Structure 1
Amino acid sequence: MEFGLVLQTDPPASEVVGLMRRAEQNGFRYGWTFDSAVLWQEPFVIYSQILEHTQDLVVGPMVTNPSTRTPEVTASTFATLNDMFGNRTVCGIGRGDSAMRVAGRTPDTLARLGASIDVIRDLAEGREADVGGRTLRIPWVKDGRLPVWMAAYGPKALALAGRKADGFILQLADPYLTEWMVKAVRDAAAEAGRDPSAVTICVAAPAYVSADLAHAREQCRWFGGMVGNHVADLVARYGEHSGKVPEALTAYVKERQGYDYRHHGRAGNPDTAFVPDEIVDRFCLVGPAAAHLDKLRTLKDLGVDQFALYAMHDAREQVIDAYGAEVIPALTGSPGPGPIPPREGGAARPA
């Protein structure tokens, strides 16, 4: 199992870069960020700095969408980073939640998303693509490589991920739902004539290492509200008891009253009071390191290739370091971290 760190691109950008450097030193292989142009700073600008100040870390959005940037712009941006830093990017993509809704738009259709996956990957890897009826190719791309991983929850989106995407991003860490959704993706891949095992499976969720379970839950409760946006869409589309979406996913949003994106992805979000402790425990990783290891081993046995850790809480450095010291070595066999390198222009942070 590999590990990723997920951050919001709040200013100052130097803090994001520093945390990504710390993550790589602790054995994380991927650095992800949110991508909402109004809510946070522009991630692709910050990726260039992360790539410059790390050795092997792979970076990308969790997740972008086909509309805030057109597919050819997205492809060219990734291709530029890859040309500069050596194919160290991954494109996480979905229909769009905060980026679209904050700007007064609705999330993209699955048809547009599926077409965009092909266009972005083909252009970023130097192949021709049909863009609005016109055949385009980026002439300067040489030996480019861009895996495209798709985020999904509902049956049609899961099927699309299985047919088209190089990887599947599931933004929750509940083992029952993980098993159900991974099966749906792999079944769709097989039906499309693809090798199901070739689809990388990434589970993304908050993690908080602490013996103070009550505090850990409060720091991660926001995540149930974020996931609830997508779940509410599924309930509106399929109904509460359709059988097409597990009630283990949909039942908890009955008390949801609304959502203010000004608090999106932040601890203390006032719109997440409806999220019970049981959902926090199922969707997130909370408690001492041993509890994290138990859950991660279960997820690994279900076919999960990467766990991407959301660090939107009050203990970012401590959790990164705890994973580097206790969790990642236990699951990868790698040694623990060495000394944390100093930040540019400042002293080393305490390990």
Structure 2
Amino acid sequence: MKISLGVYPNQKPSEVIASAKLAEELGFDTLWMLDSHLLFREVYTMFGAIGAATSRIRLGTAVTNPLTRHPTVTASAFATLAELTEGRATLGISVGDSALKAMNLEIAKMKELADTVRRCRALLDGEEVAFGEGELAKLHHTGRHVPIYVAATGPKMLALTGEIGDGCILMNGVAPDLIQAAIDLLQAGEREAKRPVGTTKTVVWAACHPDPEAVKYNVARAILRNIPGPISDLTRQVAAEVKKEYNYEEHGSAEAHFASLVPTELVERFAFSHSPEHIASQIDALEKIGVDEVVLAIPFAPNITPRDEVMRQLAPMIFRKRV
């Protein structure tokens, strides 16, 4: 199973690039970065710089959307990134979250997402695509394969991802029973589309930090989603409270005020936390159910242990069987 790093680019670009270089050195497989252009540094610009500063680590969006980026822009950006990095680019996309909510806009429809994935894949494969009547559009700098991963949580999105995705980014927590429930729905979508079961790679994204208080911001967002599987009454009660207070200006911030509404007892099911040994055991539990990749989304904030130090603490444990 691959172990990757998730980054909220809320630091200076030079600091994010330094973290990317360290992640590569320590053995992380992919650097997944948010595309939320008002809240964080612009991801395509960051990936160009990181791609030039690294040689092995893959780069993927977690995630872009069909509305703030036109399909031709997305396809061109990833074709360029793949060329720059000799094939280290992965396109992560979904219906949108903070990038749109920060502008008070509605997320994309599932049909728009499916159409965007289809068009991006065709453009990246060098095919002509229709956007208006008559004329066809074609990307003139293709060549490297770019897999397309779709972020999905609820039953309908999981089924769609099983039909169209090369991979599925799950933001459904970290408890094996929750992830297994999502995988079952994903594979049902594969069967419906007559794709071989297991075609769609599974990626579990969740906040990661030794301090449980530092991941509660992400737990708060996770429990607002339509997560399949066993959800406790306490989780539902807390989600109702969080929904009243959630502010997208603080999305992805370990210092978000609404994080204080999350009791520590919920952290275990929705985030990677506590000692490096415990985090390693959480990762191992997901490997046992066939998860292909985990993404440790390590936040950065002035009052918590810095991301780079956390990576150094975790590396000896989480890569112990992979050295």
Aligned to 1:175: 176
From 303, 317, 320, give the equivalent of 1:326.
317
Count residues in correspondence.
Answer: 313
Any idea what the Cα deviations from partners look like across 1:269-311, whole Å, max 9, x if unmatched?
1112322222211111112222122221110111111111111
**Which of the residues 246, 255, 259 maps onto 2:241?**
255
| Secondary structure at 2:320 match in 1 | helix
The yes-or-no answer on 1:149 pairing with 2:149 is: yes
* Unpaired segments ≥5 residues, structure 1: 210-215, 235-243, 335-351
**Percent same amino acid at aligned positions?**
28
Provide Cα deviations, 1:82-121, integer angstroms capped at 9, x if missing partner.
1222111101111111000111210111110111111112
Secondary structure of the 1:121 match is helix
Deviation at 1:220, TM superposition (A): 0.8
2:80–2:141: 8 Å Cα contact kept in structure 1? no
Letter in 1 for 2:252: G
1:243-266 deviation digits (Å, cap 9, x = unpaired): x94451762412222311221111
Provide the C-alpha distance between the structure 2 equivalents of 1:128 and 1:258, rounded to a whole number of angstroms: 46
Separation (CA, whole Å) in 1 of partners of 2:241 and 2:140: 52
Alpha-carbon contact 1:26-1:323 (below 8 Å) kept: no
Aligned residue in 1 for 2:89: 89
Measure the CA separation in 2 of the matches of 1:287 and 1:132. Answer: 53
Say if 2:177 and 2:229, in contact at 8 Å, map to a contact too.
Answer: no
Equivalent position SS for 1:205:
strand
Does the Cα contact within 8 Å between 2:217 and 2:252 map onto a contact in 1?
Answer: yes
- Unaligned ranges ≥5, structure 2: none
1:25 alignment partner in structure 2:
25
Q: Given the alignment of the two structures, is residue 265 of structure 1 paired with residue 252 of structure 2, yes or no?
A: yes
Mapping 1:1-351, distance limit 5 Å? 1-132=1-132, 135-141=136-142, 143-171=143-171, 172-209=173-210, 216-229=211-224, 231=225, 234=226, 245-246=228-229, 248=231, 251=236, 252-256=238-242, 257-313=244-300, 314-315=304-305, 316-330=307-321, 332=322, 334=323
SS of the equivalent of 2:144 reads coil
Letter in 1 for 2:272: L
The letter for the 2-side match of 1:99 is A
Alignment-derived partner of residue 342 in structure 1: none
Q: Shift of residue 222 of structure 1?
A: 0.5
Comparing 23-32 with 184-193, greater Cα deviation is found at 184-193
TM-score under structure 2 normalisation? 0.92
Deviations 1:3-27 (A, max 9, x none): 1111122241011100010001000
The separation in 2 between residues aligned to 1:183 and 1:129, in whole angstroms, is: 33
Letter in 2 for 1:194: R
CA distance in 2, matches of 1:101, 1:280: 25
Q: TM-score normalised to the size of structure 1?
A: 0.85
**Aligned partner of residue 202 in structure 1, secondary structure:** strand
Q: 1:42 to 1:165 in 2, by over 3 A?
A: same
Shift >4 Å, 4+ stretches: none
| Structural RMSD (CA) | 1.7
Residues 176-232 of structure 1, C-alpha deviations (whole Å, 9 max, x = no match): 1100001110121122111222211100112224xxxxxx11111101122244x2x
Code of the aligned partner of 1:269:
A
Is the 1:95–1:107 contact (alpha carbons within 8 Å) kept by the matching residues of 2?
yes
Amino acid at match of 2:6: V
Tell me the distance in 2 between the aligned counterparts of 1:132 and 1:150.
25
- CA distance in structure 2 between the partners assigned to 1:7 and 1:194 by the alignment: 32
1:347 — aligned with what? none
Q: Please give the secondary structure, in 2, of the residue aligned with 1:253.
A: helix
